[in-house]
Amino acid sequence: MWKSLISRRNALAGGIALIGGTFWGTNNPSLASPVNARPYPWGGSGAAGANPNHDPNPLPPGEPGRDYNPTRTPNGSTLSYHLVENVKVMHLIAEEVEHEFAPGLKARCWGYNGQVHGPTIEAVEGDRVRIYVTNRLPAPTTVHWHGLIIPSGMDGVGGLSQRSIQPGETFKYEFTLRQHGTFMYHSHHDEMTQMAMGLMGMFIIHPRGVPQQERPDRDFVLLSSEWKIIPGTYRPDPNEMTDFNVLTFNARAFPGTDPLVCRRGDKVRIRLGNLSMMSHHSIHLHGYHFYITQTDGGPIPESAQWPETTVIVPTGSTRTIQFVADNPGDWAMHCHMLHHVMNQMGHGLPNVLGINPDGLDNKVRKLLPNYMTMGQTGMADMGSMGMTVPQNSIPMIGADGPKDYITMGGMFTILKVRENLPPGQTSDPGWYQDPPGSVAQPASTEDLRRDGIRPPTSNNSLQSHHH
Ligand SMILES: [Cu+2]
């Protein structure tokens, strides 16, 4: 459903029931969809009696514009296709890729078509797709289509569904898409290594026949993953089990993440996937309430949706959220598991919070002239003071913001909602220009006196040794 903050406030003020408006994404009566006819609560494959191993007569290929508004994958791309006798033909090439996570941190990863993660696959319910997979890796691989109801032999589990694709070989996957929603694809051969190296992407299937006014104006795709890259090294470590130090949206860590750019009033959908090695992510959006409308199991009935500001995305699943972008500004969107908004250098340090390290520093400086212990008042200094970091590594947090240093890293991005954004603009519009008087400011003496606030006359907290 599309809900706006303002209309909801009005509805509350008027005592009107909240539920209403257009709910899209479930059964669309204009399409005789074999999948959406599935009964609750048994779930099942959604095949509604048809055997998915037999071709259930694909529909003519769906077209962008006519059938759907294309998604946008920040920092990524969408896989191209061409038509051969009404089949959408695509090609994924698994290969080694030099990938930049954020300015200053690169690594040799494995991806598809020269990028990490792989490009987003986008199609329409009823389409038939034929996806060629070429293996240019030094190891065998396969591709699993996560959440898709397809023949067992197309499921891509190495050894179980198929023989693995050897280096140099090209395999062919072909199936008809008989559901819509937000799904994923990833290697299913030596998964631990190959997913730790980046072999994954998103697979979006649009419903057919949704009128333009009920489609999202902005439809973003974000895939979370996590990496262990020891500072100064150049390859993810697939053997790490718990201590990941590079946390990413679309394989980028803040400040490497592109903003999600919207025009005020846009209907916004954000599709969140998670293929992290072990972490669930609590994705929190500032400035908005949203509804969770889909999982990779399908649409959530409207009566079961509830408003949220944070959505937990378990690893191996997707969550789709929707809202109307009626609140202009620069709004943080980030994982609320707080080590996940820290970059590399923020992990595995000794706790020196509250310690005065002057004596220690003086001793260490006899050996290392510029040594300075950091972290005694927190971690922010490490980024903002430009602390020297090992070659090919990124500081724990941060980037310059419009008002001060932004002490966030990792799985952090910015939703930028603007009045009067030219239609179709997706590029960064710069920082938000706040209306006068709407930014938190230092209190004046006059303010304090008027309101009877008596600040302490001296700062009795830890004296800083900097400066
Ligand atoms: Cu997280």
**Per-domain residue ranges for the chain?**
5-27+58-339
Q: Which residues are bridge partners to 308 per DSSP?
A: 290
Q: What tokens appear for 385 in the block? A: 């003071």
Cα 260 to averaged position of ligand 1 atoms, centre (Å): 18
Cα 114 to averaged position of ligand 1 atoms, centre (Å): 26
State residue 311's pLDDT score.
97
Cα 227 to averaged position of ligand 1 atoms, centre (Å): 12
Residue 406, classed as helix, strand or coil, is strand
State residue 375's pLDDT score.
59
Cα 231 to averaged position of ligand 1 atoms, centre (Å): 20
Element containing residue 201 per DSSP (H, E): strand 200-206
Cα 311 to averaged position of ligand 1 atoms, centre (Å): 11
pTM of the model: 0.83
d(CA 174, CA 257): 33
Which of 12-21, 100-109, 319-328, 442-451 is predicted with the least confidence, judged by mean pLDDT?
A: 12-21
d(CA 30, CA 180): 14
Cα 277 to averaged position of ligand 1 atoms, centre (Å): 11
Rg for the chain (alpha carbons), in Å? 25
Cα 130 to averaged position of ligand 1 atoms, centre (Å): 34
Residue with tokens 């949220």: 308
Cα 94 to averaged position of ligand 1 atoms, centre (Å): 27
Cα 397 to averaged position of ligand 1 atoms, centre (Å): 15
Q: What is the mean pLDDT of the chain?
A: 84
Cα 248 to averaged position of ligand 1 atoms, centre (Å): 9
Greatest CA separation found in the chain? 80
Average pLDDT, integer, range 157-178: 96
Superfamily of domain 5-27+58-339: Cupredoxins -  blue copper proteins (2.60.40.420)
**DSSP character at residue 313:** E
Cα 228 to averaged position of ligand 1 atoms, centre (Å): 14
| Single-letter code of the amino acid located at 190 | D
d(CA 186, CA 182): 14
Cα 409 to averaged position of ligand 1 atoms, centre (Å): 12
Cα 102 to averaged position of ligand 1 atoms, centre (Å): 17
Cα 234 to averaged position of ligand 1 atoms, centre (Å): 23
Which of 192-201, 336-345, 420-429 is predicted with the least confidence, judged by mean pLDDT?
A: 336-345
> Please, which pLDDT band fits residue 244 given cuts at 50, 70 and 90?
confident
> Please, which pLDDT band fits residue 265 given cuts at 50, 70 and 90?
very high
Cα 249 to averaged position of ligand 1 atoms, centre (Å): 10
| Strand ranges (E), 215-259 | 218-227, 246-249
pLDDT at 346 over 60: no
Cα 339 to averaged position of ligand 1 atoms, centre (Å): 8
Cα 218 to averaged position of ligand 1 atoms, centre (Å): 24
Cα 438 to averaged position of ligand 1 atoms, centre (Å): 31
> Please, which pLDDT band fits residue 434 given cuts at 50, 70 and 90?
very high
| Higher pLDDT, residue 113 or 354 | 113
Cα 433 to averaged position of ligand 1 atoms, centre (Å): 30
Cα 73 to averaged position of ligand 1 atoms, centre (Å): 19
pLDDT at 102 over 80: yes
pLDDT at 264 over 90: yes
A 10 A CB-CB count for 348 gives: 10
Element containing residue 13 per DSSP (H, E): helix 5-13
Cα 157 to averaged position of ligand 1 atoms, centre (Å): 27
Closest-CA residue to 187 (of 155, 142, 238, 237): 142
> Please, which pLDDT band fits residue 27 given cuts at 50, 70 and 90?
very low
Cα 435 to averaged position of ligand 1 atoms, centre (Å): 33
pLDDT at 466 over 50: no
pLDDT at 438 over 80: yes
pLDDT at 388 over 80: no
> Please, which pLDDT band fits residue 150 given cuts at 50, 70 and 90?
very high
Cα 411 to averaged position of ligand 1 atoms, centre (Å): 7
Q: Spell out which residues have Cβ within 5 A of ligand 1, the ion.
A: 281, 335, 337, 340
Cα 361 to averaged position of ligand 1 atoms, centre (Å): 34
| Strand ranges (E), 34-104 | 82-84, 87-102
Q: Which residues are bridge partners to 247 per DSSP?
A: 226
Average pLDDT, integer, range 381-392: 62
Average pLDDT, integer, range 166-191: 96
Average pLDDT, integer, range 103-110: 91
pLDDT at 254 over 60: yes
Average pLDDT, integer, range 105-114: 95
392-410 pLDDT tens trace? 777 666 788 999 888 888 9
State residue 229's pLDDT score.
87
| Higher pLDDT, residue 226 or 352 | 226
Cα 183 to averaged position of ligand 1 atoms, centre (Å): 19
> Please, which pLDDT band fits residue 35 given cuts at 50, 70 and 90?
very low
Cα 314 to averaged position of ligand 1 atoms, centre (Å): 10
Cα 33 to averaged position of ligand 1 atoms, centre (Å): 36
A 10 A CB-CB count for 28 gives: 18
> Please, which pLDDT band fits residue 29 given cuts at 50, 70 and 90?
very low
